[in-house]
Structure 1
Amino acid sequence: MALRLPLLLLSTFAFSLSQYTPDWDSLDKRPIPEWFDEVKFGLMISYGIYSVPAWAPVGTYEEWYWHALNSKGSPTQQWHYKTYGENFKYEDFLPMLTGELFDADEWADIFYKAGLKYFVPLSKHHDGYTLWPSKTSWGWNTVDTGPHRDIIGELTTALRAKGLHAGVYFSLYDWYHPLYVGSQPELYVTEVMTPQLMELIHNYEPDILWTDGDWEKPPSFWNSTYFLAWLYNESPVKEKIVVNDRWGSGSRGKHGGFYTEEYSSHTVADHKWEEDSGIDIHSYGYNRNTPPDKYYTASYLIDLLTKTVAYGGNLCLNVGISYDGKIPNIMAERLLQIGAWLDVNGEGIYNTTKWKVPDEQVPVNLSHMVVFNNTNNVDGQVTPDSNTSNIKYLGTFETANECLKSCENNSWCKSFTWVQSTDDAYKHQCFGRTDLYWHPDSEEGHVSGRRDSITIRYTASKLQSKTVYAIITDWPTGNSLNLTSPIPSQSTAVSILGYEGSLKWTGTPGKAGMSIMWPILTVSELPSMYQWTIKLMNVS
């Protein structure tokens, strides 16, 4: 048996004199196809047997329903027994997965209007149920059972008819497959998993292969390097295919193609990456238990998009589909709201690259300070920072308001802390900071504050030389906006996407910093509802 796996691999992955060899040193040198960095905005689509119960505790992954059902005493098990009875099995949901409202063309139309450019529908999640007629999943796929339709095939055709990139998500592992949980789990890899991957590649020629469910075993168990070498060298999609980093325990953020972050606030500095998030606050599968206020707002999702793109990433959202094949209205609405924003501001998102700085904080309303302490932190808008190099002593004052005024009177002062404690050696002393953070020594009873500010996020055009986009998170209320990072030239031109005419600016050509004369508009005159994009031509 020890020789069987290598022999199967050699027969499955026949290599010619190839560019890439089955090792990470070679595979990691393959460039990610350029199209992926240009499109910026994608969508994962979750549909399967779990779409029938469509229930999980709020804030948990609904698509893990079967796994949670088998967890003794779990909330899901308790709810399932109460709702369906203890003898009702997960597979008993199959006749209820009707999909009668599934319309691939309707989905593609919504996605096109939403400004989405690439897609990774779940071809198989961890329950092993496939959304195409896999030869190794007889009786456990959407053609033999449930909707009796090739979901992946129909959706791939509809998406490409709209000029969109169609890919697939694929779970490497399978929770309860007899081979995977048996005494020789490597047989699952060679007899089930690898043939399924080959079916997807040959039948649908996906633009993206988004693997998951890899963490229980190392890449060597999944034969990841052999498969990727074949994919890059011999497959029919070798020129265009994009893959992620989920190829076995220890590979995430190290090997493969783009790196992935999931429901995360992290960014990746030196590699192409993708932020993955549901529209539900923490579920990919559709969860009927999620209340309306636990779906991300359009404002939040647009903010996530602009932050991700400014830091060099792509944003891949997710919609969970109901049992009948319908996109829930609240998710469709969010997508269309983002699409309306992109209709105006998309030039600053698509076909852009990370600029020399991803963002900056610009103080506005300089006469106003937001006062808080650790029990009133303005909903977390101010971040603690223990770095003391940016702190300056302002004096000793009897009241916090005097400390505030002292900070306001110094243009370098962006935030302050006033020590109120009666038994502290620093009693009533006032400290200013040169940034918009506050010191963690601002304990209860002390008072800290900062200037109001807006975030400027930058991207640079790939299509127009020396063109930079500055995306502002809030509309300035004054008549000017100061940017510190762009270096203007004699020919610099400034405009707002969606707003007719150019804006006047002042500054010294060749020196960083410029002040833009800001228009005063009514709400109905704003180019878009959420964030706004300044186009800066001929800057560096």
Structure 2
Amino acid sequence: METGRGLFLRAAAAWLCLVGAASASAPPQRYTPDWPSLDARPLPGWFDAAKVGVFVHWGVFSVPAWGSEWFWWHWRGEKQPDFDRFVQARFPPGTSYADFAPRFTAHDFQPRQWARLFQQAGARYVVLTTKHHEGFTNWGSNVSWNWNSVDTGPHRDLVGELGDALRERNIHYGLYHSLFEWFNPLYLLDKKNGFKSQFFVYGKILPELYELVLRYKPDLIWSDGDWEAPDTYWNSTSFLAWLYNDSPVKELVQTVSYGGNYLLNVGPTKEGVIAPVFQERLLALGKWLGINGEAIYESKPWRIQKENCTCSTWYTSKGATVYAIFLTWPESSVLILPSPVSSATTKVTMLGFSEPLKWQVAPDKGLKIMLPSAVPSLLPLQHGWTLKLVGVA
């Protein structure tokens, strides 16, 4: 029996996702509740093309805002002394983790401003934590009484509000949902029973997942926290078969390390403010993508992923066009690319510049390219530049 499968399929990278919206290229197909059938799900076109997303970690852990979203576990599970000292120095005596919830106010949460910022950052999709391992849900979950964002804290449906704002800007919406919860009595009971009982799964997890899918119809679900129990405990294959065959969410996304997606994490404050330093980074990313996005969005891996040299050059492709993204400006403004093979029709340009660049066949092999003579600090961007290669093998 395989363990650690959770609700998702094997992945070469660190996480798996589910995606909504029908794939135009994949014919309708019924999937059976077993891994060989479920693993055959095709990658939906929109996710493969999106490439760039924003991941929002936001919950009760945003109140202490120290350590990580695993604050409760480090404090009460592992009993790390520095976490205890942190709470004693900043909160009233006897403070419990539940006491943080009313302080998670989201007073300044403006979902339309978030959506605008994420769009300016070049994000094609956004993933929100609907529930982390602490068990607090960012919507009014029917099975998380008084431990959700409608009953306490913000008294708002954070999942729904952000989804509405993102869809106004045609940004795909993803929902992160943790399966296990550190201190949930039902989960601890099932764990004590060697996961032979499923009180937690049927009383908490599956109702939440069905509710998220049916109420919000997300484009993507990222499920996490399955590692302690086998997939049979989580009822994985049955849920996925329903999801793929009969629900509004019917596609699988499986991330890979190369040619995959870049998901940038953001942690808003307990009031719902995205700190200026985060906004600065997001807008810088958007500026870079405004010039170099042609080499990122809708791209595929080229036959060479990265040059095996000190030039820090990475490749993507679209059809017959190859893009070389280099991170270090070479001395004398001459860049050598060993891998591309030139032809009589080879043309080299730099994204952000209109004039073709001069080039010649390198002494060993590949291309020797004369970059613009401007000082790199005077170029539109100072970190990462893209060459567009047409007519190379």
Scaled to the shorter chain, the TM-score interval is 0.7 to 0.9
Decide which of 247, 253, 257 is 1:235's aligned counterpart.
247
Query: Relative contact order: is structure 1 or structure 2 higher (C-alpha 8 Å, sep ≥ 6)?
Result: 2
Residue 222 (structure 1) shift? 0.6
1:532 matches 2:389 = no
Instruction: Check whether the contact 1:497–1:527 (CA below 8 A) recurs between aligned residues.
Output: no
Equivalent pairs counted in the alignment come to 359
Residue 18 (structure 1) shift? 6.3
1:455 matches 2:312 = yes
Residue 345 (structure 1) shift? 0.6
Alignment of 1:516-531 (within 5 A): 516-523=369-376, 525-531=378-384
Q: 1:150 to 1:538 in 2, by over 3 A?
A: same
Q: 1:23 to 1:86 in 2, by over 3 A?
A: farther
Q: Which residue of 2 aligns with 1:34?
A: 45
1:160 matches 2:172 = no
Alignment of 1:124-273 (within 5 A): 124-182=131-189, 186-238=198-250, 241-242=251-252, 257-258=253-254, 272-273=255-256
Residue 361 (structure 1) shift? 4.1
Q: Please give the alpha-carbon distance, in whole angstroms, between the structure 2 residues aligned to 1:334 and 1:73.
A: 32
What do residues 13-68 of structure 1 show as CA deviations (whole Å, max 9, x unaligned)? xxxx9621111111111111121111111111111111111122xxxxx1111112
Question: With structure 2 as the length reference, what TM-score do the two structures score?
Answer: 0.87
Alignment of 1:373-388 (within 5 A): none
Q: Please give the alpha-carbon distance, in whole angstroms, between the structure 2 residues aligned to 1:356 and 1:315.
A: 20
In structure 1, the gaps of 5 or more residues are: 1-16, 57-61, 243-256, 259-271, 275-310, 363-452
Decide which of 18, 21, 32 is 1:21's aligned counterpart.
32
In structure 2, the gaps of 5 or more residues are: 1-27
Structure number, greater radius of gyration: 1
100-109 vs 136-145, greater mean Cα deviation: 136-145
Q: 1:485 to 1:523 in 2, by over 3 A?
A: closer
Instruction: Check whether the contact 2:74–2:80 (CA below 8 A) recurs between aligned residues.
Output: no
Amino acid at match of 1:89: S
1:108 matches 2:110 = no
Residue 519 (structure 1) shift? 2.3
Instruction: Check whether the contact 1:46–1:321 (CA below 8 A) recurs between aligned residues.
Output: yes
Q: Please give the alpha-carbon distance, in whole angstroms, between the structure 1 residues aligned to 2:330 and 2:377.
A: 16
Percent identity, aligned pairs only, is: 45
Residue 479 (structure 1) shift? 4.8
Q: 1:84 to 1:475 in 2, by over 3 A?
A: same
Q: Please give the alpha-carbon distance, in whole angstroms, between the structure 1 residues aligned to 2:281 and 2:108.
A: 20
Q: Which residue of 1 aligns with 2:356?
A: 502
Q: Please give the alpha-carbon distance, in whole angstroms, between the structure 2 residues aligned to 1:488 and 1:230.
A: 51
Amino acid at match of 1:334: R
Q: Please give the alpha-carbon distance, in whole angstroms, between the structure 2 residues aligned to 1:479 and 1:53.
A: 48
Q: Which residue of 2 aligns with 1:330?
A: 277
Instruction: Check whether the contact 1:487–1:513 (CA below 8 A) recurs between aligned residues.
Output: yes
Instruction: Check whether the contact 1:129–1:137 (CA below 8 A) recurs between aligned residues.
Output: yes
Decide which of 45, 64, 68 is 2:70's aligned counterpart.
64
Amino acid at match of 1:69: W
Instruction: Check whether the contact 2:31–2:244 (CA below 8 A) recurs between aligned residues.
Output: yes
Residue 537 (structure 1) shift? 1.1
Amino acid at match of 1:52: V
Q: Which residue of 2 aligns with 1:348?
A: 295
Amino acid at match of 2:291: V
Amino acid at match of 1:203: R
Q: Which residue of 2 aligns with 1:392?
A: none
Q: Which residue of 2 aligns with 1:357?
A: 304
Q: Please give the alpha-carbon distance, in whole angstroms, between the structure 2 residues aligned to 1:499 and 1:18.
A: 46
